[in-house]
Amino acid sequence: MTDIFILIPGRTSKQGTTLNEGKYTEGYQTEINTLKMNPDDMERLDIAEGEEVRMWNEHGSVVVPCCTGKNELPPGLLFISYGDKSSQLMPGETHGTGMPDSKGLDVQIEKIAT
């Protein structure tokens, strides 16, 4: 049984600048495909900086590199820039609002076996 983390997809400055350069640029793709994690959580799960992890919930599964979140994140919280990867983990259900649960998603994490 792996831990349940809470994923917060969001906007970043780098995402905004690289978006203008183009969605197919390396800068944009790196930004939206990199997961940020609390350093203590990374150490506990033996995940090295930049190492790939599988992140999944009942809606989807993605593989992303993981790095520390510059002390922005408390333990148990994950961050990723909005994009294709975060959308794959988003439910279709909007609970009558038109808005899917787009932040605060329950996800699980595991290291990719090498």
Partner 1 sequence: MSIAEQPTNKTDNPLKIVEDATCTFCGCVCDDINLTVEGNQITKAQNACVLGKAWFFNHHIEERPEALIDGQPATYEQAIDRAAQILLESQYAITYGLSDTTCEAQRVAVAITDWIGGCLDTTTSVCHGPSGMAFQGVGEVTCSLGELKNRADYLIYWGGNPAESHPRHFTKYSLMPKGEFVPNGRKDRTAVLIDVRKTKTAKAVDIHLQLKPRSDFELAWALRALAKGLELDDSVEEKTGIPLAQLKEVMEGMKKAKFGAILFGMGVTMTRGKHLNSEAVLALARDMNKHTRWVAKPMRGHGNVTGADNVVSWSTGYPFGIHLGRGYPRFNPGEFTSSDVLGRGEADAALIVASDPYSNFSQPARDHLKAINTIVLDPKLSETAKIAKVAFTTSTYGINEPGTVYRMDDIPIPLRPAFDSPYRSDYDILKAIENKIRKHQLEAVNAGLKAGEFRIVSGCSSAW
**Closer residue to partner 1 (CB): 65 or 83:** 83
Q: Site residues (CB under 8 A) for partner 1?
A: 6, 8, 10-13, 16-24, 59-60, 69, 71-74, 77, 79, 82-84, 87-88, 90-104
Pairing, β 35-37 against β 60-68: parallel
- Least spacing, CB of residue 4 vs partner 1, in Å: 11
SS3 content of the chain, % helix, strand, coil (to 5): 25, 30, 45
DSSP-derived secondary structure for 62-93: EEEEEEE-TT-S-TTEEEEESSHHHHHTS-S-
- Least spacing, CB of residue 113 vs partner 1, in Å: 26
- Least spacing, CB of residue 44 vs partner 1, in Å: 19
